[in-house]
Amino acid sequence: MHKGLIKIAALLGVLSVILGAFAAHGLKQILLLDSLQIFETAIRYQFYHVFAILAVGILYKEYPSALMKLAGQFFLLGILFFSGSLYLLCYVKHNQLSLNWVGAITPFGGLFFIVGWVFIFWAVLKRN
């Protein structure tokens, strides 16, 4: 499990850097300032949680448990729901689509991030 999470973290890290460069060099001319800020927030939280997934992959060797696996899975879900919905929101706003519900997905991603951190705490607490 830990090697799989480390590989996923590495791939998501690469994607974060690519998306960050794309935002800095390609999207500045395309998106309005508020959409660009939304996109950058998505990248920032994705990158934060790349490090969280990496940490879970490393911690799993010392604290192997279902809780630690769940932490990694919830961080992945958080990236998908939080960052993914913000990327989608930028696309929707740029193309003036009427998908107003997209922004309602984002808080679920934030909740998944929080639960992931709680699972790490719980996994370490149970081991001691």
What is the structure's pLDDT at 120? 97
Q: Is 75 within 8 Å of 49 (Cβ atoms)?
A: yes
- pLDDT for residue 94: 82
Percent of the chain whose predicted confidence (pLDDT) is above 90: 70
In this model, does residue 13 exceed pLDDT 90?
yes
Domain ranges for the chain? 2-127
pLDDT, residue 32, reads 83
Would you say 53 and 75 are in contact if contact means Cβ atoms under 8 Å apart? yes
